Structure 1
Amino acid sequence: MHLFKRGMIFVTFFGACIAMALLVASLGTKHWVNAKAKRVKNPMESDGKIHFGLFDGRKDLNVAYGWRTYEIDVIHLLKYEPEFLIYGFWLGTVVTICLGLLFSTFSAVFAAINTATTTSRCLTSVPGLYLWNFLALVSDIIAICCWIAQFYINIQYNVLSREDKDNEWTSENMAELGYSFWFVVGAAVATFVNIIIVFIANSEKEVETVIPVLEEKTNGAIMLY
């Protein structure tokens, strides 16, 4: 394999590692949603700050006499307060992030293999890198779409528990997508760049193969003379 091609493939190893790190960070951090909250009957004297990830988070509420902190258990709320989040979109987000992480791992491993040695097996060869990166990109995009749908259908109207709503708290139109979500967008971008790099590395092969053919024809002509 040409040195340039090996170098380009090795670059995709780092791209896949970046994607993996971002996806792991998105699963582990608690800022898929950031929101503020107010009490309907005394909005000027109340304030609330809420943030949570795919599994847990925190809310700080203040009703004129000091801040109180409460933990948010997303899994518990999904089970006992199904209106909190749409379960299908939440599950789709978690599953596709895990799939994206798996495929990015495959991409990194096989990029290292292709850099170290030449292999002819489809799934571990350079064309196989297209497959793993493409599957990772599709998984990331589905996760992004699931959470955007979750946000615009449900989250923007409420991020509070039933108890908070009964106490006249509201977060309507005060929520935004947090940095944990943008980690997934970053992973998708890194994977897309990987696909472009693999394409460039593969296109180099076409240039390389033309030269031996021309040399062979020239040598044949010389032999005839």
Structure 2
Amino acid sequence: MSTFFKKSFVFCTFFVSCASAALLLAALGTKHWTESGAKRMKNPAESDGKIHFGLFEGKKELNVAYGWRTYEMDVIHIMKDEPEFLNYWFWLGTVTVLCVALLTAVISTILAVINTITTSHRCLVGVSGLIFWNFLTCFLSLCGIGLWLAQFYTKIQYNVLTREDRGNEWSSENMAELGYSFWFVVGATCASFVNVILTSIANNEHETETVIPVLEEKTNGAIMLY
């Protein structure tokens, strides 16, 4: 493989890293990590509810045959007043690992440009460094997925309503599902994994090219001695 094609592989990782970073940023900023319906147990046929929220904010719409009423949701405030709403440590862990994953994705985009323009053999700056940063992004994104799945199966699937709503006989049990904000993280994970493959190919080719001249030099030296 020529140097041009190796550089092309590395440059491709720039666009994939941009996509990964954009997906992680969208996941952190959008309000659809969870989407759920709701019913009032007292009159389920005449009531309906739609709830969606992200890591920080959301919206709740409830209708009891008098028309839809919309309420904004502050996730942090609700957790503070109602600890049973979400597991705080799962929430904090999700936010933390995704913020760090976003940072490593940005680092990957910068290093992709640097390695396209120049050739560096430094551990965390060269092509081998690109493998590390993309793998770290992939790993952290997977951690975020795992933490939110734990949140979903221990808390969210049973309730996404406040105490006041539950006091008015509203229920969302078994009506919740994972929203598109969550799937953004899955997409970012896949993108980072693709980058690991691309950078591994480019790095292997680089290593092959550096080893061959050394072997040739030793062979030539042996012939001259002979």
Q: Could you say whether these structures have the same fold, taking a TM-score greater than 0.5 normalized by the shorter chain as the test?
A: yes
| 2:6 pairs with 1:5 | yes
- Report the counterpart of residue 29 of structure 2 in structure 1: 28
C-alpha deviation, 1:138, in angstroms: 1.3
State the partner residue of 1:126.
Answer: 127
Q: How far apart, CA to CA, are the structure 2 residues paired with 1:4 and 1:176?
A: 43
Q: Which runs of 5+ in 2 are unaligned?
A: none
The number of aligned residues is 225
Q: 2-side partners of 1:80 and 1:222: how far apart?
A: 81
**Whole-angstrom distance in 1 between the partners of 2:147 and 2:193:** 19
* Cα separation, 2, equivalents of 1:86 and 1:222: 71
Give the C-alpha shift of residue 135 in structure 1.
Answer: 1.3
TM-score, scaled to structure 1 = 0.94
Counterpart CA distance in 2 for 1:163 and 1:154 is 17
Q: Tell me how far apart the structure 2 counterparts of residues 51 and 217 of structure 1 sit (CA, whole Å).
A: 67
Q: Whole-Å Cα distance in 2 between the matches of residues 112 and 99 of structure 1?
A: 20
- Taking structure 2 as the reference length, the TM-score comes to 0.93
Aligned to 1:140: 141
Is residue 208 from structure 1 mapped to residue 213 from structure 2 by the alignment?
no
How do residues 71-110 of structure 1 correspond to structure 2 at under 5 angstroms? 71-110=72-111
Partner of 1:70: 71
Inter-partner Cα distance in structure 2 for 1:117 and 1:101: 24
Shift of 1:52: 0.5
Bigger drift between 92-101 and 210-219 goes to 210-219
Q: CA deviation at 1:212?
A: 3.3
Letter in 1 for 2:46: E
* Greater CA drift, 3-12 or 163-172: 3-12
Identity %: 65
- Encode CA deviations 1:153-193: one digit per residue, 9 max, x unaligned: 00000000000000000000000000000000100000000
Provide the alpha-carbon RMSD of the alignment.
Answer: 1.8
Deviations 1:26-62 (A, max 9, x none): 0111100000000011000000000000000101100
- Structure 1, gaps ≥5 residues long: none
Give the match for residue 154 of structure 1.
Answer: 155
Q: Structure 1 residue 111: deviation in Å?
A: 1.1
Range 131-140 or range 45-54, more displaced: 131-140
Q: Work out whether 1:172 is the aligned partner of 2:173.
A: yes
Q: What letter is aligned with 1:78?
A: M
CA distance in 1 between counterparts of 2:8 and 2:122 reads 20
- Structure 2 counterpart of 1:181, one-letter code: F
